[in-house]
Amino acid sequence: MAGRLSTVGLRITHAIPVILGVVVVSFLLTRALPGDPAVYFAGAAADEQSIAEIRTALGLDKPLMEQFLIYAGDVITGNLGNSLSTGQPVLQDLANRLPASLELTLTALLLSCGIAIPLGVLAATRPGSAVDHLCRVLVTAGVSLPTFFTGVVLIYVFYYLLGIAPSPLGRLDFIYIEPDRVTGFYLIDAAIAGDWETWTGALKQLVLPATTLALFTLAPLARMTRAAMLSALSSDYIRTARAAGLTEDKVLFTYAFRNALLPVITTLGMVFSFTLGANVLVEKVFAWPGIGSYAVEALVVSDYAAVQGFVLAMALLFVALNLVIDLTYTLIDPRIGFETK
């Protein structure tokens, strides 16, 4: 156990150069973008003098190196600057919006794992059967239907026509008061506060967007589960297990499934990180105040501080995510260890 802790520590130190690189690159890339924030934020009737005043106010008239040093100094003290487009400190924006995105993405992933993994396993154990075909249809549909389209169709059917779903107005309908902030996840915060009315309200709002995202993330997971299970089932150790007369359940779950999990976890990690940044369209359709739409809006108006903050937050998140996935590997397959590296 002590060995594992020290390797975790080691892995975290390995992340430091990555983070430093991200800070430099995100700074340079935002400056390389076309567009002039001073002009943009000077407003409709600005003249050259007012643009110059704003440039000075934003510190954009200083040489690039000096701007970078100021930025780096601020980052070290935990100050990510102020976003121009929302008018709030970037750190506060991220703290508000990251949990919203995480809550949506995690719920969607739970949902899609809950469907994709059993489906993949069933499809692999019964190739060519009806389940296998269902799996194929779902996967094809999930890949080929863009999320904004699925989102709009779901709203149309379940909100507009049937009236079952609540109005797609973001995380909570305006009749509810948001729960006291502990984690930023409404479901968790409402549960902590014991406010089950709000909890149900938040869950209702989650259903449609999470389903939209789940349909999209289901495809790679189901495919990967099916493929990994197929290759595991056709391997030598399964033949041996079967020859030894082990029960089918034991063969399937203890030997085949456990071995098939590694590529599935890898895919899950990739899908998660991808979805977190890429669910912009779902966020737009459902008015979800997430981090994806925040980053896109910031990019459109060359809001440097917000873009840099977003990139940095994502980098930190990915480092953490990779660590968690690596640790999960060692739990699933004892042959894998950090020590071997």
Partner 1 sequence: MTYKTSRRGFLTGAGATVLGASVLPFLKVLPASAAAGDVVVAVTGQTINSLDIQRTGTNRPSYQVAVNVYDRLVSFGTKTLEDGSLSYDYSVIEPEVAESWEFTDDDMAIVFKLRPDGKFQDGSPITAEDVKWSFDRAVSVGGFPTVQMKAGSLEKPEQFEVVDEFTFKINLLRKSKLTLPDLAVPVPMIINAKVAREHATEDDPWAMEYLHKTPAGSGAFKVASWKPGEQLVYERNDGWTSGPVPAVQRVVLREVPSSATRRALLERGDVNMSFNMPNKDAKELSGTEDITVATTPIENAIYCLCPNLAFEPFKDKKVRQAIAWAVPYEEVFQTAAYGRGAPMWGGPSTAPADIAWPQKFPYSTDLDKAKALLAEAGYADGFEVPLSIDLSQSDWMEPTALLIQENLAKIGITATIEKIPGANWRTASLVEKRLPLHLETFGGWLNYPCYYFFWAYQEGHLFNSSNYRNEEIETLTSEALHMSVEDPDYAPKIKRMIEIAWDEVPRIALWQPALNVGTRNLEGYEYWFHRQLDVRGLKKA
What is the distance between the alpha carbons of residues 116 and 112, in angstroms, rounded to a whole number? 6
Comparing CB distances to partner 1, the nearer of 175 and 244 is 175
Comparing CB distances to partner 1, the nearer of 190 and 229 is 190
In the complex, least distance from residue 199 CB atom to partner 1, rounded to whole angstroms: 13
In the complex, least distance from residue 170 CB atom to partner 1, rounded to whole angstroms: 6
Cα-based angle 289, 158, 136 (whole degrees, multiple of 5): 90
What is the distance between the alpha carbons of residues 251 and 237, in angstroms, rounded to a whole number? 9
Comparing CB distances to partner 1, the nearer of 168 and 277 is 168
Comparing CB distances to partner 1, the nearer of 301 and 323 is 301
Q: List the one residue out of 14, 55, 45, 72 whose CA is nearest residue 341.
A: 14
In the complex, least distance from residue 23 CB atom to partner 1, rounded to whole angstroms: 22
In the complex, least distance from residue 90 CB atom to partner 1, rounded to whole angstroms: 12
- How far is C-alpha 340 from the chain's CA centre? 30
What is the distance between the alpha carbons of residues 129 and 254, in angstroms, rounded to a whole number? 24
3 state SS of 166: coil
What is the distance between the alpha carbons of residues 75 and 252, in angstroms, rounded to a whole number? 50
What is the distance between the alpha carbons of residues 119 and 142, in angstroms, rounded to a whole number? 14
Residue type present at position 101: S
In the complex, least distance from residue 293 CB atom to partner 1, rounded to whole angstroms: 7
Cβ partners under 8 Å of residue 206, min gap 6: 103, 104, 107, 171, 187
Count the neighbouring beta carbons within 10 Å of the beta carbon of residue 193.
13
* Cα 16 to Cα 26, 84, 287, 315, 328, distances in angstroms: 15, 28, 35, 11, 22
In the complex, least distance from residue 68 CB atom to partner 1, rounded to whole angstroms: 21
* Cα 238 to Cα 127, 219, 225, 333, distances in angstroms: 17, 27, 17, 16
3 state SS of 294: helix
Comparing CB distances to partner 1, the nearer of 132 and 283 is 283
In the complex, least distance from residue 49 CB atom to partner 1, rounded to whole angstroms: 8
Comparing CB distances to partner 1, the nearer of 277 and 292 is 292
Comparing CB distances to partner 1, the nearer of 297 and 326 is 297
Comparing CB distances to partner 1, the nearer of 123 and 280 is 280
Give the footprint of partner 1 on this chain (CB under 8 A): 33-37, 39-51, 53-54, 57-58, 84-88, 93, 96-97, 152-153, 155-156, 159-163, 167-171, 173-177, 197-198, 283-287, 289, 293-294, 297, 299-302
In the complex, least distance from residue 171 CB atom to partner 1, rounded to whole angstroms: 8
